[in-house]
Amino acid sequence: MSSPEHVKQSLRQGSRAVIVSQIAAQLVSLGVLAALYRLLGLEPYGLLGMVMPLLLFVRILIVSGLDVATIQEAKLTDDQVSALFWLNQGLGLAMALVTAGCAPVLVWFYGIHGHDVRDLGWLTVALSGTSVAAALSTQHQALLRRKLRLGALAVAQLVALAAAGLSGVAAAVAGWGVGALVLQQYVELLGLVALTWWLEPWRPRFRWRGTGATPLVRFGGHCTLGSLMFYLVANADKILVGYALGPAALALYGQAFNLMMKPVNLVLSPLTGVMLPVLSRAAGDRRQYAPLMLGFFRFIGLVMLPSAVGLAIVAPEAMRVLGGEKWADAGPILSVLAAAILVQGFIGALGSVFASAGRADRNAYASVGIAVVLCTAFFLGLRVGSLAGRPVLGVALSYSVTMVLVVFPPYLWLALRTVGVRCVDWVVELRSAAGGSLAMGVVVLACHAIVGDALQAPDSVLLLVEVLVGVLSYVLFTRRELAWFVRQGLRSDDEPV
């Protein structure tokens, strides 16, 4: 078992470069989105939004939780990794064929209500090959995370993202239309394949039988069930909106949802990459495990809570600045979805808590209940929203309310009970961030009333002032909490813990 000093040093070493790279990645992503929103408009994003649920579904089956098994397993052999690699490749090829075969079904399904989805068939076939590309880097990424080479992996992801963004913008300028989004997908995935194979020296051998990989596949199966249920949670609303309301409505809802997830991904992408291997190594020592886990959630709250409050306030002007007036209707949708940020980051991180304790089965069973509850809420939200003349807003409201009030409390209780941590200890870690976020929200609302309503400032000026005032006020209100985080992040690696 790793010593507490080694675990904490690994945590700090892996976190610093990853956080910087993730911030850069989000800035690059926003810049690319701003360009593509204006160059392409709503229709291409609506069509892509109709294909993505299928692509994400088959990618879950391709990975099959085998990346988590590679990271979590205490003793791992090359033969076991080779067996998992070839299983990933077989699944990738099979799912590419399944995706291409589903093209006529998607055209029929989304065209039932008379929506123009003629380009959906060739788009689905064109994107089917991304399943093969995604499979090629799965085990190499898992090995980099297992070895806590998180900074190197984050840089590789940033480079692939930037290259994909540039290629997508260039193709959009050249008039490729939705084809620009196809090119963007392939460049990012294949770029990540090239970079991860260069960074990780492991190479697969032709091994399958007698490798001892069966327990890993079984563990991955539990992870897959949980992932499939959370996939259903994350995509049922988009499928419903696309089916009932068409590509334009799906573009508005889907992109508002993606922007809501930006701050969540900003934190979770680097954090879960560190969290799972570190907590897995500390799982045998409860006195070491609990402070580490609570520290992770303390950091999540420090970023997620102000993001939720701030985005709920500035969303309308943010969408107008980012995409222009044709994307303005996504502003109120984003404001409503922003409330889900309050719990979205915590829910994403709790999956690592279950996995680190070797209880992916509990997470899988809980995810089934979550999927049933949320899918029911989506149908009710669409129905009630339609009666009020705002069907998309009804779906968004059903998502946020259900996640915050119905799903999160019991899911948190189950995860903490699994690892023997008291709920009150978890709540105590978030007091400062919660109070600071509420105070910041009051200040930003006052700023909005003065600069936006009274002075009638342009959206770009209003948004800039709101963000600056929000950041400065939050820093002021949570200065002690932020000082704790800075001390943790900048502590010398050879300093005693």
Q: What is the pLDDT of residues 85-143, one digit of tens each?
A: 888 889 899 999 999 999 999 999 998 777 778 899 999 999 999 999 999 998 898 88
Q: Between vectors from CA 15 to CA 60 and to CA 262, what angle results, nearest 5°? A: 50
CB atoms closer than 10 angstroms to residue 459: 19
For residue 282, give the 3-state DSSP assignment. helix
Q: Residue with structure tokens 């940020």? A: 341
CA–CA gap between residue 371 and residue 229 (Å, rounded): 6
Per-residue pLDDT for 13 more than 60?
no
pLDDT band at 1 (very low <50, low <70, confident <90, very high): very low
CA–CA gap between residue 50 and residue 52 (Å, rounded): 6
Mean per-residue pLDDT, 145-164: 86
Per-residue pLDDT for 152 more than 80?
yes
Q: Which amino acid would we find at residue 103?
A: A
pLDDT band at 220 (very low <50, low <70, confident <90, very high): low
Structure tokens at 305: 């809570």
Half-sphere exposure of 30 (CA within 13 A, CB side): 17
Per-residue pLDDT for 63 more than 80?
no
Comparing C-alpha atoms, which of 163, 149, 166, 170 is closest to residue 191?
A: 163
| Contact status, residue 124 vs residue 103, Cβ threshold 8 Å | yes
For the chain, domain boundaries? 4-429
| Contact status, residue 488 vs residue 12, Cβ threshold 8 Å | yes
Distance of CA 171 to the CA centre of its chain: 26
Per-residue pLDDT for 84 more than 60?
yes
Q: What is the pLDDT of residue 494?
A: 43
Q: What is the pLDDT of residue 64?
A: 61
Comparing C-alpha atoms, which of 102, 98, 200, 93 is closest to residue 152?
A: 200
Question: Is the Cα dihedral 43, 133, 271, 15 positive or negative?
Answer: negative
pLDDT band at 400 (very low <50, low <70, confident <90, very high): very high
Structure tokens at 127: 């994107």
CA–CA gap between residue 13 and residue 24 (Å, rounded): 18
Structure tokens at 344: 């979205």
Dmax over Cα atoms in the chain, in whole Å? 73
Mean per-residue pLDDT, 74-91: 82
Mean per-residue pLDDT, 218-241: 76
Q: Which residue has the higher pLDDT, 18 or 182?
A: 182
Mean pLDDT over the full length of the chain: 85
| Contact status, residue 229 vs residue 292, Cβ threshold 8 Å | no
CA 435 to each of CA 303, 345, 441: distance values in angstroms, whole numbers, following the listed order = 13, 18, 10
CB atoms closer than 10 angstroms to residue 60: 18
Output the CA torsion 139→144→148→153 (10° steps).
-120
| Contact status, residue 403 vs residue 273, Cβ threshold 8 Å | no
Q: What is the pLDDT of residue 413?
A: 95
For residue 343, give the 3-state DSSP assignment. helix
pLDDT band at 198 (very low <50, low <70, confident <90, very high): very high
| Contact status, residue 366 vs residue 413, Cβ threshold 8 Å | no
Question: Is the Cα dihedral 11, 16, 22, 25 positive or negative?
Answer: negative
Structure tokens at 9: 């040093």
Per-residue pLDDT for 155 more than 80?
yes
Question: Is the Cα dihedral 280, 282, 287, 292 positive or negative?
Answer: negative
Q: Which residue has the higher pLDDT, 231 or 314?
A: 314
Q: Give the total residue count for the chain.
A: 497
Q: What is the pLDDT of residue 398?
A: 96
Comparing C-alpha atoms, which of 177, 311, 300, 309 is closest to residue 256?
A: 311
Q: Which residue has the higher pLDDT, 256 or 214?
A: 256
Q: What is the pLDDT of residue 377?
A: 95
Q: Residue with structure tokens 């160059």? A: 39
Per-residue pLDDT for 424 more than 70?
yes
Distance of CA 495 to the CA centre of its chain: 33
Q: What is the pLDDT of residues 19-52, one digit of tens each?
A: 677 778 878 988 998 899 989 988 899 999 999 9
Structure letter (DSSP) for residue 325 = G
Per-residue pLDDT for 339 more than 70?
yes
Helices and strands per DSSP (H, E), number in the chain: 22, 0
CB atoms closer than 10 angstroms to residue 267: 24
Distance of CA 416 to the CA centre of its chain: 22
Q: What is the pLDDT of residue 348?
A: 86
Mean per-residue pLDDT, 173-185: 94
Q: Residue with structure tokens 């998502």? A: 399
CA–CA gap between residue 403 and residue 339 (Å, rounded): 9
Give me the percent of the chain exceeding a pLDDT of 90.
48
CA 296 to each of CA 49, 73, 119, 227, 230: distance values in angstroms, whole numbers, following the listed order = 32, 21, 44, 22, 21
Half-sphere exposure of 345 (CA within 13 A, CB side): 29
Half-sphere exposure of 34 (CA within 13 A, CB side): 11
| Contact status, residue 128 vs residue 96, Cβ threshold 8 Å | yes
**Residues in CB range of 149: below 8 A, 6 or more apart:** 14, 199, 200
